[in-house]
Structure 1
Amino acid sequence: MFRQQIRLALLAGGIVAATGWTVCANDCCQPAPCAPTMRTVRVKEWVPEKYETTRTVYRTEQRQENYTAYRCETVQEQRTRTCVVNHYVPCQVEKCRTVCEKVPCVQQRTECKEVPCGPSCLDKLHKLCHRNDCCEPCPQECAPRTKTVKCWVPCPTWEEHTCTVMKRVCERCPVTCQVNTCKTVTRQEKYMCTVNKCVPECKTVCETVCVQKRVPYQACRTVCVCVPCTERVTCCRMVCHEVEKQVPCPAPAPCPAPCATSCCESSPCHSHGHRCGGCGGCGHKLFHRSHDCGGCGGCGGGCS
């Protein structure tokens, strides 16, 4: 705020200085710089100010208070209730069941058994050739008696001979026979059995139960409470004051090059108190009495 007011004051001073009278010299040298012009302006300043005031604050205090609390206690009570009791009574019931029995029976089956074979053609031929031998054939043909002797074999050779051996052959022939077996036969029979029948009965019983009850009692506890209190404090605030200050005016714009002779003194507009613009905007006639530049139109531009 304060800086904006200073800027406005400087801008106003610059406009006033720019629209003021200008001085036009009759010589060709530059004029000497003028001393800075000071002016008085009123500005606003914020000044800190201390003051005393009263405020309300809250502080925490501990207090003792009584309250009603509850504790749980177990109390025994006698209660009567009606319940249903089931009794089992034995009774005779006739039931039917399936029984499996083994019954003997005769079945006809076809089985295979081992029987002795008849004499073959070779056996018959052998019997015919040896009919003068003993009646009973030998169970096994005896081999001839041999002995081992040393002999010189310069070149051993292998010979194959066909020999006859006895081989047992079994033939299977079906035979039908009667066998005694047992077959399973099922039948239904009735029997008596004992079962337990459930009979419900209502009865009243008295029992002792434990019940939880809340018992009130007085207790004391410490609580924290906020208590308002008033206190005086010193505070600081900013106060706006208007003060007068001396500030320099902005420097005027430099004058243009002076004319050879003053044109404002002999001009008709100069005698009537007008300003001449032919010399680049020369000012008051007091500064141009000894100059003559050929009238208001001598330098061009005319009067204003």
Structure 2
Amino acid sequence: MSKRTLAIFAAIGATVIYGLNHTIAKGVMPDHVAPFGFIMLRVIGASILFWIISFFGPKETIEKKDYGRMLICALFGMGINMLSFFKGLQLSTPINSAVLITTTPIIVLLLSALLIKEKISNRKVFGIFIGLIGAVSLILFGAEIRQDAPNIPIGNALFIVNAFSYGLYLILVKKLIEKYHLFTCMKWLFTIGIFVCLPMGYQELLEIEWTNLPLEALWGIAFVVVGTTFCTYLFNVFALTQLKASTVSAFVYLQPIIGILFAVLTGKDNLTTLKIFGAAMVLVGVYLASRKPSSIPKS
């Protein structure tokens, strides 16, 4: 099996885990673990796991000129990205998070145009506009009343912040992955991530009552730390060694299907007309913005 094929399977695996995470993580918050405390568990746990497996990789030293990029990648990939997503998940619903995360490819496209001067066609501009309508409709008009979703519009807005942050991370981390082994990158990014998230998550981390956590909550925490954090970041970084950032981000299209099915089947969320409309607009917009133009045969 070629490395490119393995990279595709890795990206699919990460997407499946992310799709399940929308519901599993929501089930733990906020009754058992507050969102920012959860992020501290994620970055600390993943950091330990990446340091362990790094002993099986090459011994590398990060060059001083790359410290700045490391810090920025950790800020957006392990800090703002995670903090905004989990806080948004506490305030909103699993289906909304699964839908709005699909704005990531659009954001990657926009950032690529700004940072690496990639041209955007009229079709892509139209796709971005359509996707924006879907996202804004969920943010502004998604104010259903649910006990487990106290502020859905704010939560949905935080999902957009998450998508922007993660999209920027995918673009910026590409150069580090091309230069250093993925174990080296991940162990240092998550180690830096601990200090990035510490001011926001320290107090909530201390508030976790470990002796009172039910088995279901412990299982959910383990899934998020090992699966959603360690495995997905490992899989996506490996995928970036063989695929473009825009290609890796495109696998996010599968998340609404997985996330919605799992949320509905487990009874953790339900479909509404607004969610269906918003999801359709976002997915159509993402498709138009990301589809490659058909080649015109030469006469």
TM-score (norm 1): 0.17
Give the structure with higher Rg (CA): 1
- Structure with more of its chain in helix, by fraction: 2
- Structure with more of its chain in strand, by fraction: 1
TM-score (norm 2): 0.17
